[in-house]
Amino acid sequence: MKTSTPTSIEIIFDAAAHDLGGFTVRRALPTAARRMVGPFTFFDHMGPGVFAPGHGIDVRPHPHIGLATVTYLFDGEIFHRDSLGSAQAIRPGDINWMNAGRGIVHSERTSATVRERGSNISGLQLWVALPTAHEESEPTFAHHPAATLPQTQRDGVAIKLLAGSAYGLTSPVATLSPLFYVDVHMSEGSRLPLPAEHEERALYVIDGAVDCDGLRVEPGKLVVFSKDAQLDLRALSPTRLVQIGGAPLDGKRTIFWNFVSSSKARIDQAAEDWKAGRFPKVPGDEIEFIPLPA
């Protein structure tokens, strides 16, 4: 829902909540009001949720083109498999970066061991659209353990740089366009300036509340800042938030289902390829799949 905002803020809206049975997903991007922030074109906040023993996440194999998926957990575990043969558990603080390029298939499930004992789940999955020159690149997968991601502290603020560059830090995660993605913990009353080096910037509050130029922002809200905005964020309570943004991509992108491309024809071809079974299988998860939506 759009609300009245100061001039430093382009738009603020609530992430749309969806009940997936056992946990809630709040989708902040894309929306009719804003399709992208920098190269970020998809933003899902998963949970928090609790799975009883014998239950868990089962996202069956499905395809992607023209984007990178970025998975980051606050709690719990997800086991990733893809058509490159990757098989990787992602745990809190890690970054999984899967570059779909010309096409990849992956699944995301709760492993048998974790499922047996029951588990929690909470985290984020984002998509980063690829520059036109890289949309048909070879797919890749990279896992970055939490300990490899740079962190710093300043005046009651703890900053963890997940991808790109900001606040004097640079992440080891390989990206294909200028961007930033940071996880921030703020003590009550602490302040943090917006990173000035990026053209497009947004924040999403996980817990707590933050003052943005006189506007109180609470959990589940995405704030997109005006291009030249210069302001300090001020924590109104102990607060956790993430910031995303970067340079706009080289042209508009079409999004259909799990596909992102600068070409509508390319998306149509990907949809036909998935329907016809021409995408590769996921080793170890070859039986099930998500059908192309009508």
- The 10s digit of each residue's pLDDT in 114-168 is 999 999 999 999 999 999 999 999 999 999 999 999 999 999 999 999 999 999 9
Number of H helices, E strands in the chain: 2, 25
pLDDT category of residue 21 using cuts at 50, 70 and 90: low
Closest listed residue to residue 220, CA positions, set 209, 232, 234: 209
Task: Say what the pLDDT of residue 18 is.
Answer: 85
Confidence tier at 24 by pLDDT (50, 70, 90) = confident
Collapsing DSSP to helix, strand or coil, 271 comes out as: helix
In angstroms, the CA 290 to CA 256 distance is: 14
Arithmetic mean of pLDDT over the chain: 95
pTM, rounded to two decimals: 0.95
Amino acid 19: pLDDT: 78
| pLDDT band of 22, cuts 50, 70, 90 | low
Q: Which residue has the tokens 């070879």?
A: 138
Express each pLDDT in 215-247 by its tens digit: 999 999 999 999 989 999 999 999 999 999 999
